[in-house]
Amino acid sequence: MTVFNFSAGPAVLPREVLEQAAAEMLDWHGSGMSVMEMSHRGKEFISIYEQAERDLRELLAVPANYKILFMQGGALAENAIVPMNLVGHKAQPATVDFIDTGSWSAKSIKEAKKYANVNVAASAAHTKYNAIPERHTWQLSKDAAYVHICSNETIDGVEYHYVPDVAADTNGAPLVADMSSNILSRVIDVSKYGVIYAGAQKNIGPAGVTIVIVRDDLIGQALPVCPSAFDWKLVADNNSMYNTPPTYGIYIAGLVFQWLKRQGGVAAIELRNIAKADLLYDYLDSSSLYVSRIARECRSRMNVPFFLRDESLNDAFLAGAKDRGLLQLKGHKSVGGMRASIYNAMPIEGVRALVDYLKEFEKQHA
Ligand SMILES: *Cc1c(COP(=O)(O)O)cnc(C)c1O
């Protein structure tokens, strides 16, 4: 049976990548070693690392005045690492602005409060996070060290389809984005951001790698309490090898970057992601059994939460899906209902199979 895995993360990886990794598991390119067994300072691993960095830079057109760091701790650790690195040059405690659009921005806020005064400039909590607060409602601080957004709320299913402008929307403060669940899914202009960070396990590779893309002038402002291994300056000066990086995860991420280049790059995958999301949302909108509760203009292309109007059918729905090889569709416990995550590695065939099943189940329960 063909299986389609709709997990929100760790999530589906391209089959070709897993096959290549399997083929190279015991002996990478005639080196006689598995990538897991290589010194991170040896020429073999350095070549893997440099290729991954180059490919990611090319895929996202990362300008030369930005560093790409391969770190550890996931996006949740980076929620602390970001304020620790960005407020050291300010009078303490510094102020930082947040836009609260869902579970993940709420977690970012909680963590930043340990290192700074947090001003929640806007929050969608009162509408159960079904939309992004409009820009003109944001109550920004005068001198924030940065403005933080979560570009795609993995749990709630809302996504920014524009980039806040530093002059007009953030009062001149650098824009920081948690892009864990939509990085590489759409074309972005990196120069509009001060910092982009992302845990790998949604669109990049296995859990354990965190990508940080940071503008040069924002490096070197860490608080004295910042652990050395998390100080962007030390990490950047040592090409992400201040301490041992997550070598195997970086290798798999590198294979995913090569796969993405073979797909035609980010612009090509974005078109496919739009087609996949449209297919699913169009059916949900036409249905009387299912409903999407997210405002149309900020629906996520990556994570699609939806509900059965009759929630007593949830278990039957999930059991039938599993029988058809449609896996991990249960919604996050904080939201309930269902969630289909349709990251880059989910082929359109998977979304078609899901929509076919949605139709069939709807017919049975009309
Ligand atoms: C998954 C996710 C995180 C958490 O990542 P960890 O690797 O578990 O720390 C944070 N933010 C967003 C938007 C996510 O999707």
Q: What is the pLDDT of residue 169?
A: 87
Ligand 1: which of 7, 72, 76 to mutate, most ligand atoms within 8 Å of CB?
A: 76
- Give, to the nearest 10 degrees, the angle between helix 314-323 and helix 348-364: 130
Catalytic sites, residue numbers: 104, 178, 202
Tokens linked to 176: 């920081």
In the chain, the amino acid numbered 319 is A
- What pLDDT shows up at residue 96? 98
Where is 261: in which H helix or E strand?
helix 247-262
Picking from 184, 185, 187, 188, the residue whose alpha carbon sits closest to that of residue 175 is 188
Q: Which atom of ligand 1 is nearest to the CA of 154?
A: 15
Instruction: Compute φ and ψ for 311, nearest 5 degrees.
Output: -70, -15
CATH numbers and ranges of domains, the chain: 15-262 (3.40.640.10), 265-364 (3.90.1150.10)
Q: How far apart are CA 112 and CA 82, in angstroms?
A: 8
State which H helix or E strand residue 52 sits in: helix 43-59
Contact 219, 236 (CB under 8 A): yes
Tell me, using a 6 A CB cutoff, whether residue 245 lines ligand 1: no
Query: 201 C-alpha vs ligand 1 centroid, how far in Å?
Result: 8
Is the distance from the beta carbon of residue 105 to the nearest atom of ligand 1 less than 6 Å?
A: no
Q: How many angstroms separate the alpha carbon of residue 171 from the centre of ligand 1?
A: 27
Annotated binding-site residue? 2: no
What is the helix (H) or strand (E) element at residue 322, kind and residue range? helix 314-323
Contact indicator for 257, 251 with CB cutoff of 8 Å? no
CA distance 199 to 210: 4
Tokens, residue 290: 């299912």
- Read off the tokens for 270: 């974005």
Token pair of 357 as six digits: 């099943």
Whole-angstrom distance, CA of residue 280 vs CA of residue 346: 13
pLDDT in tens, the chain (366 residues): 899 999 999 999 999 999 999 999 999 999 999 999 999 999 999 999 999 999 999 999 999 999 999 999 999 999 999 999 999 999 999 999 999 999 999 999 999 999 999 999 999 999 999 999 999 999 999 999 999 999 999 999 999 999 999 888 889 999 999 999 999 999 999 999 999 999 999 999 999 999 999 999 999 999 999 999 999 999 999 999 999 999 999 999 999 999 999 999 999 999 999 999 999 999 999 999 999 999 999 999 999 999 999 999 999 999 999 999 999 999 999 999 999 999 999 999 999 999 999 999 999 998
Report which of 85, 54, 84 is spatially closest to residue 214, judged by C-alpha positions: 85
170 annotated ligand binder: no
In this structure, the strands spanning 147-150 and 95-100 are parallel
Distance 180 CA to ligand 1 centre (A): 6
| Residue of 86, 75, 300 lying closest to 197 (CA atoms) | 75
For tokens 């949605």, the residue is 358
Beta bridge mates, 176: 148, 195
Query: How much is the pLDDT for 146?
Result: 98
Residue 79, ligand 1, Cβ within 6 A: no
Cα angle value 285/288/289 (rounded, 5°)? 105
Report how far ligand 1's centroid is from the alpha carbon of 363 (Å). Answer: 36
User: Does ligand 1 lie within 6 Å of residue 303's CB atom?
Assistant: no
CA distance 343 to 341: 6
CB atoms within 10 A of CB 103: 17
* Rounded Cα–Cα distance for residues 203 and 217 (Å): 28
Write the residue with the smallest CA distance to atom 7 of ligand 1: 74
Q: Determine the residue type at 152.
A: N
Q: Please indicate whether residue 179, judged by its CB atom, sits closer than 6 Å to ligand 1.
A: no
Q: Show Cβ contacts of residue 314 under 8 Å, excluding neighbours closer than 6 positions.
A: 308, 337, 338
Return d(Cα 18, Cα 21) in angstroms, integer.
Answer: 5
Ligand 1: which of 81, 155, 180 to mutate, judged by most atoms within 8 Å of the beta carbon?
A: 180
